[in-house]
Amino acid sequence: MTTQPNPAAMQAAAADGNANLFVTLRGGFPADLDRTAIETGDGPPLRYSWRDIERSTAMLANLFESLELPAGARIAVQTEKSVEALLLYLAVLRAGFVYLPLNTAYQSSEIEYFIGNAEPSVVVCSAKNFSWISRIAFSAGTAHVFTLNEDRTGSLLERAAHHSDIHEPAQRSRDDLAAILYTSGTTGRSKGAMLSHDNLASNARTLQQYWGWRDGDVLIHVLPIFHVHGLFVASHGALLNGSKMIWFSKFDPRKVVERLPDATVFMGVPTLYVRLLAEPGLTREACRNMRLFVAGSAPLLIDTFREFEQRTGHTILERYGMSETAMLTSNPYRAEDGERRGGTVGFPLPGVGVRIRGDDGTLRTDGEIGGIEVSGPNIFKGYWRMPEKTREEFTDDGWFKTGDVGKIDERGYVHIVGRSKDLIISGGYNVYPAEIEGYLNEMEGVAESAVIGAPHRDFGEAVVAIVVARPGASLDPASLTAQLKSKIANFKVPKQVFVVDDLPRNTMGKVQKNLLRDQHKGLFADA
Ligand code: MLC
Ligand code: AMP
């Protein structure tokens, strides 16, 4: 059965008090639903209209409703990037359940933890992983495991095809959960950041205004859709503005450069800009129709910022955010709001509070460096089933402690100068040394280890492990690397492993990672 959704009715629904994020996003769809919403940039050439989004998310949402899941049920998804994977996300919102995206690089022990911790009612995975993921899911009590492949096959779409393409979005209040994003912990295991419909909707609206989304915008979408940047910032921006997306399942700099003349907006982590700059085709001419390049998720080197400006005539707009908070600060889009300053992450977004707390515990207004604390409608609701951890990460007056270290200069620009959390950001992915050290320390013959980040031209930082053998044991770096590869996501695996006699320690016995970082800072100078 087909439906003729009425745009006016959709707009009205957006205003009827239903805080469901899907309703907010749908409120931005254009009046002409037959216009192209998404076209593929790689793989088979496909076009999806706004009506296709409306109908297919309705069918998927009806499928989920037919499963009679408990209220607040989590739907965990580990699939390759595809337009259907985005539709699945939107359908979960539409049906009022909680979306839980998982990085495709995660291996079985990581997946086991996430599924065990989140207890999803439904898991969706690629068919190639069905046997091991379904075993983990069913033993954790998951009721349904569906498959979804990048070529649009799998049991999820087969089942959804039997459902109606008319669906009334579930009524949700502002604080109801829309998504849980797992973010690694400084000690031990990952924490699930709980984001509400309003956390995400308010941030999307703010960015729509601040970044001047307008009619005729076309977004090149290249980022993975299991993190804030690709899933929320990029996709929400285009959907809420009724703007077309050119959808890439994987980042390929050459193909992106070819499509730049057809687009106006691009978003990427710094590694993507480094790789774009390596393309001779990246010229002013190629960027003639572009109006906005956004970078974030990791520090953008000033050299990259400048080189990009010289080559393309465009000044990258750098912004700062987190899984727990969505977007917090942004360099200005409009010239009248100020210049875009490389090496800074700009101003707090409208409605967002940013303040600095010095080492002595006092709030600093004098441009001094300290811990960055934030507040606003975008700040998450806490860590899933970790009330203690949640309490620790908020101040008594309700501000969230980001774990980033920075300052606010005299012109109001926020600078991030470091992190109080022991964290490596490699190609936009977070890697917590404590997690890798935990795996290494359990391996046969390993006495102890220290994991650090070393500067890397492509990835920004690269993971390096320094390992000490037990007395009498001999360790082979290649074998340690191979063992890690079988256990953890590939981007977390150290690019280099060193076996040493001992680790440098201070008088308190604490490993001096700063000395190790210094020692290995030139390791990837030629990378
Ligand atoms: C891939 N590899 C990486 C890596 N990505 N190594 C270190 N760091 C990374 N980020 C390794 C693989 O392990 C593999 O090694 C080899 O590189 C090739 O793998 P690939 O899959 O072909 O890599 P590629 O496609 O080139 O991926 C690189 C990338 C990708 C930069 C395109 O990492 C990426 O999409 N990064 C974006 C992450 C992102 O969206 N972050 C936003 C988080 S949200 P081997 O040895 O196995 O061959 C957030 C909040 C905010 O932080 O503010 O936005
Ligand atoms: P995640 O937990 O994956 O959401 O990563 C969030 C972290 O990424 C932040 O706490 C920062 O450390 C870092 N980050 C995000 N954007 C930027 C940026 N523009 N510059 C520097 N660090 C950033």
Q: Which ligand is nearest to the CA of 107?
A: 1
Q: Which atom, in ligand 1's list, is nearest to the CA of 271?
A: 31
22-43 mean pLDDT = 98
CA dihedral over 398, 404, 408, 413, signed as positive or negative: negative
Q: What is the 3-state secondary structure (H, E, C) of 198-267?
A: HHHHHHHHHHHHHCCCCCCCEEEECCCCCCHHHHHHHHHHHHHCCCEEEECCCCCHHHHHHHHHHCCEEE
Residue 300 alpha carbon to ligand 1 centre in Å = 16
Q: Which of 207, 225, 297 to mutate to test the pocket of ligand 2 (most atoms within 8 A of CB)?
A: 297
Give me ligand 2 centre to Cα 423, in Å: 10
Hey, whose CA ends up nearest to atom 5 of ligand 2?
A: 322
Ligand 2 cavity residues, CB under 6 Å:
183, 228, 296-299, 318, 320-323, 345, 402, 404, 416, 419, 425, 430
**Nearest ligand, CA of residue 233?**
1
Report the SS3 class of residue 33: coil
Q: Give me ligand 2 centre to Cα 442, in Å.
A: 29
Query: What is the spatial distance between Cα 268 and Cα 223, in angstroms, rounded to a whole number?
Result: 7
Q: Give tens-digit pLDDT for 462-494.
A: 999 999 999 999 999 999 999 999 999 999 999
Report the pLDDT value the prediction gives residue 392, as an integer from 0 to 100.
Answer: 96
Report CA(387)–ligand 1 centroid distance (Å). Answer: 31
What are the respective helix, strand and coil percentages of the chain, to the nearest 5? 30, 25, 45
Q: What is the pLDDT of residue 442?
A: 95
Q: Concatenated DSSP letters for 475-487? A: --HHHHHHHHHTT
Ligand 1: distance of its center to the CA of 2 in Å? 40
Closest ligand relative to 298 C-alpha: 2
pLDDT over 90 at 6, yes or no:
no
Ligand 1: nearest atom to the Cα of 321: 53
Q: Looking at residues 7-26, what average pLDDT do you find?
A: 73
Q: What is the pLDDT of residue 189?
A: 76
Residue 15: pLDDT band (50, 70, 90) is low
Ligand 2 centre from 268 Cα, in Å? 13
Poorest-pLDDT segment among 177-186, 297-306, 402-411, 484-493:
177-186
* 359 vs 79, higher pLDDT: 79
pLDDT bucket at 16, cuts 50 / 70 / 90: low
List the residue whose alpha carbon is closest to atom 21 of ligand 2.
299
CA of 320 to the centre of ligand 2 (A): 6
Task: Give the distance (Å) from ligand 1 centre to CA of residue 272.
Answer: 10
The string of pLDDT tens digits covering residues 412-465 is 999 999 988 889 999 999 999 999 999 999 999 999 999 999 999 999 999 999
Q: Alpha helix (H) ranges present in 318-432?
A: 387-393
d(CA 257, CA 248): 12
Angle at 294 between CA 45 and CA 259, to 5 degrees: 25
Which of 340, 430, 432, 492 to probe ligand 2 with, by most ligand atoms within 8 A of CB?
A: 430
Ligand nearest to the CA of 329: 2
**95 Cα to the center of ligand 2, angstroms:** 31
Tokens standing for residue 286: 């190629």
Asked which of 241-250, 345-354, 415-424 is least confident by mean pLDDT, the reply is 415-424
Q: What is the pLDDT of residue 317?
A: 98
Residue 7 predicted with pLDDT over 80: no
Residue 401 buriedness (CB in 10 A; 0-12 / 13-18 / 19+): middle
Asked if residue 2 has pLDDT above 50, the reply is no
**Residues 66-82: pLDDT tens digits?**
999 999 999 999 999 99
Amino acid, res. 109:
S
Cα 513 off chain centre by: 27
Average model confidence (pLDDT) for the chain?
95
Both tokens of 129, joined, read 């992983």
Mean pLDDT, to the nearest integer, of 266-290? 98
Q: Give, for ligand 1, the residue of 275, 331, 429 to mutate: max count of ligand atoms closer than 8 Å to Cβ.
A: 429
Pocket test for ligand 1, best of 225, 490, 492 (most atoms within 8 A of CB): 490
pLDDT one-digit tens code per residue, 492-514: 999 999 999 999 999 888 899 99
pLDDT at 526: 79
State the pLDDT at residue 153.
Answer: 98
Ligand 2 closest atom vs CA 430: 3
What distance in angstroms lies between residue 404's CA and the mean position of ligand 2's atoms? 8
Handedness of CA 57, 63, 66, 71 (dihedral sign): negative
In which band, very low, low, confident or very high, does the pLDDT at 188 lie, cut at 50, 70 and 90?
A: low
Is 402 a residue whose pLDDT tops 60? Answer: yes
Question: What number of CA atoms fall less than 13 Å from residue 353's CA on the CB side?
Answer: 14
DSSP bridge pairs for 355: 373
SS3 133: helix
Give DSSP secondary structure letters for 349-367. Answer: PTT-EEEEE-TTS-EE-SS
Confidence of residue 172 (pLDDT cuts 50, 70, 90): very high
From 415, 425, 432, 461, the mutation candidate for ligand 2 (largest count of ligand atoms within 8 A of CB) is: 425
Percent of the chain with pLDDT over 90: 93
Q: List, in order, residues 6 or more apart from 480 with CB less than 8 Å away.
A: 440, 443, 446, 465, 467, 497
**Distance of CA 428 from the midpoint of ligand 1 (Å):** 7
CA of 166 from ligand 2 middle (Å) equals 39
| Chain segment 99-152, per-residue pLDDT in tens | 999 999 999 999 999 999 999 999 999 999 999 999 999 999 999 999 999 999
Q: What is the predicted pLDDT for the residue at 508?
A: 87
**Tens digits of residue pLDDT in 303-328:** 999 999 999 999 999 999 999 999 99
The pLDDT value given to residue 187: 60
- Give burial (CB, 10 Å; 0-12/13-18/19+) of 354: buried
**Protein residues with CB under 6 Å of any ligand 1 atom:** 223-224, 227-230, 250-251, 269, 271, 296-297, 321-322, 426-429, 459, 490-491
Euclidean distance between CA atoms 28 and 49, whole angstroms:
14
Residues 6+ apart with CB under 8 A from 512: 503, 504, 505, 506
Tell me what pLDDT residue 42 has.
Answer: 98
Among candidate residues 240, 284, 278, the one with its CA nearest the CA of residue 261: 284
What tokens appear for 508 in the block?
């308190």
pLDDT digits over 194-215, tens only?
999 999 999 999 999 999 999 9
Q: What is the pLDDT of residue 186?
A: 60
